Every structure is written in structure tokens, then in C-alpha cells.
Amino acid sequence: MDPPHLPGWHDVPLRDAVIEQTGLPAILDKDVIPAASAYLWNPGEHRSGEVVRGVSGKAGESGHFVVDPAGPLCWCGKRGRLGAALRAECLVEQGVAAGLALPEGVDRSDPRQVDVAFSALCAAADDGDPRAIEALETAGQRLAMGAVGAGCLMLSQAFTPRPSDLLLMS
């Protein structure tokens, strides 16, 4: 197991521990695979009903869509990935860089500090501060880019939607 957003969980043998503690068989999979399998509308499932993992095993990882090539650095080392661009820490950093009076030096690993700073950013936007509004609008544009990318992938030849899928997309 190697989840990118859980520091300290690098190479944790979680599946083996579950098997050992419960005596039951266990499968550990990427979060998007079982989630995709659980829904009727499912970009992670091929027409044959088999889960598509992709060559890297990361199919469905929309957090790695590039939405701004000059955007913030992702944990993977690349810039402008959707997941990195929409993280509260990133938005707070953008607000501070724009000159907003937000808490500086926020410890990115402390959810409380991040929440306080992000709440201050949102409050500044609510009060009409154009710098805060711009930071949140940029996040919205990046989210839209990711949604468009996901939509294009689902409508490509790699994914043939069922009629019920199209109803859910409208």
C-alpha cells in the first residue's frame, strides 16, 4: 500500500495484516476501482463488465489530469495536476502569494491549520476581495478542465457508454 495523501503509509502491508488479523481473504485495491464497480455509471468499467486498470494500474485517477501545466507541484513531481491544484493548502498558498492577509507558514500536514487558513480565504471571497475571488475562480476553472477531460475520455472509443450512462451525463 502506498497512498499519496497519507504520509507515513509508504509500503504498509495492510492487506497481509487484514488477512492475518481476520483469518479471511482480503483484496486491497485502488479506491477508484471498487468505487467504480459499485456504481451503474462507471468510467472504470469496460463494456464486458471487467474493471479496466490501465497499463499503470492507475485508470480512473482523475487527480492526475493536467489542468494547468504551470500550476502547483503535485506529490508525483509533475505540475498542474487536478488533485494538487484543488488542495486547500494550494489555494491558501495562492491567496498568500496574491497578498491576502491569511495565516502564513501553514503546516500542510496539520488539517486544523489548513482549515483555518482556507476558511479565511473563503471569508475574504465572501467579503468581495478580488484576490480571494480570483484564487477560487482559478480553482473552479481547473475543476472544469478536469471535468471536460474526464468527459472526453468517457466518450472516447476506449469507453462505449450504455444508454443509461448518457442519461446520467445529461
What is the predicted pLDDT for the residue at 33?
Answer: 56
Domains and CATH numbers, the chain: 62-169 (3.30.420.40)
pLDDT given at position 155: 56
Please give the DSSP secondary-structure letter assigned to residue 127: T
Count CB atoms within 10 A of the CB of residue 161.
Answer: 16
CA distance 52 to 60: 9
The predicted-structure confidence for 109-118, as pLDDT tens digits, reads as follows 788 888 999 9
Which segments of 5-160 are extended strands (E)?
Answer: none
Q: Which position has the grid cell 495562492?
A: 94
Instruction: Flag whether pLDDT at 163 surpasses 60.
Output: no
Predicted pLDDT at 64? 79
Helix (H, G, I), strand (E, B) or coil at 98: coil
User: 169: pLDDT confidence band, cut at 50, 70 and 90?
Assistant: very low
Answer left, alpha or beta for residue 64, where phi above 0 means left and psi between -120 and 50 means alpha.
alpha
Confidence of residue 9 (pLDDT cuts 50, 70, 90): confident
pLDDT value of residue 32: 57
For range 11-28, the mean pLDDT: 83
Our CA angle for 88, 94, 99, nearest 5°, is 130
pLDDT at 97 over 70: yes
Per-residue pLDDT, averaged over 111-139, amounts to: 92
* Greater pLDDT, 22 or 4: 22
Would you place residue 123 in the very low, low, confident or very high pLDDT band (cuts 50, 70, 90)? very high
Distance CA 88, CA 97 (A): 14
Predicted confidence (pLDDT) at residue 164 exceeds the cutoff of 60: no
Report pTM: 0.59
Residue 137: band (very low, low, confident or very high) from pLDDT cuts 50, 70, 90: very high
Distance in Å from the first CA to the final CA of the chain: 36
pLDDT of residue 40: 39
pLDDT band at 41 (very low <50, low <70, confident <90, very high): very low
